[in-house]
Amino acid sequence: MSENSSTEKVWFITGASRGFGRALAEAALKAGDLVVASARRPETLRELHDVHGDRVHPVALDVTDPDAARAAIEAAVTRFGRIDVLVNNAGYANVSPIETADDGDFRAQFETNFWGVYHVTRAALPVLRAQGSGTFVQFSSVGGRVGGSPGIASYQAAKFAVDGFSRVLAAETAPFGLRVMVVEPSGFATDWAGSSMTVQDIPEAYDATVGAMNRRVRQSTAGAAGDPEKGADIVVRAVHRDEVPGHLLLGVNAVTMALDYSRAQLAEAREWEAVSRSADFAEPAPVPLPSGEGA
């Protein structure tokens, strides 16, 4: 479908003070749209408002607070009359092995990375449903598709949950004219692996896995490959299309990892296909397991 950038849209963006959220706000404004920019500390949005004036409406929002989410959505509708694009971007990751992770920190990450998405989506749903139009842009990660990154179990578990939640959201709201797009970036030059990330103690036994990940991601001097401005421009252009992809990969590494994962997943499903089918009552069994079972 072609792009349709002539229609002014109202964006509601969580975590808009920096990183991808800030880049998205700038890209939407550049496209001629209006932006409700939210952050835990709204004073961090002052510069954005100073530059763009009344086309930006800053609001305070702690996404872990459902009452605050409802109040922020209400403020957005009061200011601009509608919400066309709801972007759940706020999120962070801390590093720790599962075995030694602090329970409170693990839960706190999940509160922001999944429950924050849940609260803001729930608050916005009645508005978009009543409008009969609107797009949910749910920021996940390529890790929320392929998983397996040592040290960030809470973050990746939450991103898998966001994906599952968003697939059901898409199925339930399609009859209302709503759209859902899950964004899956690889590494981008944001503060995700900088001051936003806390690295807890990493025991020596986990140095080759969690420690190596920490050195590669947080201590690397090369920097991330992804350009937030280019990524944000792609998201805005995609939203302005008549149709959006259900899942939008961003970055070379995201594409490579996703394709490799899908090929391996398909190959495994095919290898075990006969065995898997044999679990049904009507199927013949037992079926020999694939070679290499070692019995």
Superfamily name and number for 10-253: NAD(P)-binding Rossmann-like Domain (3.40.50.720)
**Token pair recorded at residue 52:** 């763009």
Q: Give Cα 291 to chain centroid, integer Å.
A: 39
Whole-angstrom distance, CA of residue 102 vs CA of residue 6: 49
**3-state secondary structure (DSSP) of residue 128:** helix
Whole-angstrom distance, CA of residue 111 vs CA of residue 143: 18
User: What does the chain come to in residues?
Assistant: 295
Q: What is the pLDDT along the chain (295 residues), one digit of tens a residue?
A: 444 445 899 999 999 999 999 999 999 999 999 999 999 999 999 999 999 999 999 999 999 999 999 999 999 999 999 999 999 999 999 999 999 999 999 999 999 999 999 999 999 999 999 999 999 999 999 999 999 999 999 999 999 999 999 999 999 999 999 999 999 999 888 765 556 678 888 999 999 999 988 887 766 656 678 999 999 999 999 999 999 999 999 999 999 999 999 999 999 999 999 999 999 999 999 999 998 655 4
Kindly list the domain boundaries of the chain, sorted by start residue: 10-253
**Token pair recorded at residue 221:** 């001097």
DSSP codes joined into one string, 74-92? HHHHHHHS--SEEEE----
**b/e for 215-224, b at 16 or more Cβ within 10 A?**
eebeeeeeeb
The whole-number pLDDT of residue 220 equals 61
**3-state secondary structure (DSSP) of residue 98:** coil
The residues carrying an active-site annotation are: 140, 155, 159
Task: Calculate the alpha carbon distances from 53 to 45, 49, 229, 258 in Å.
Answer: 11, 5, 21, 40
Task: Calculate the alpha carbon distances from 109 to 14, 104, 182, 208 in Å.
Answer: 16, 9, 19, 24
Question: Quick one: what percent of the chain has pLDDT higher than 70?
Answer: 93
Pairing of the two strands 247-250 and 85-88: unpaired
The whole-number pLDDT of residue 233 equals 98
**Token pair recorded at residue 179:** 């759209």
Whole-angstrom distance, CA of residue 12 vs CA of residue 295: 58
The whole-number pLDDT of residue 196 equals 63
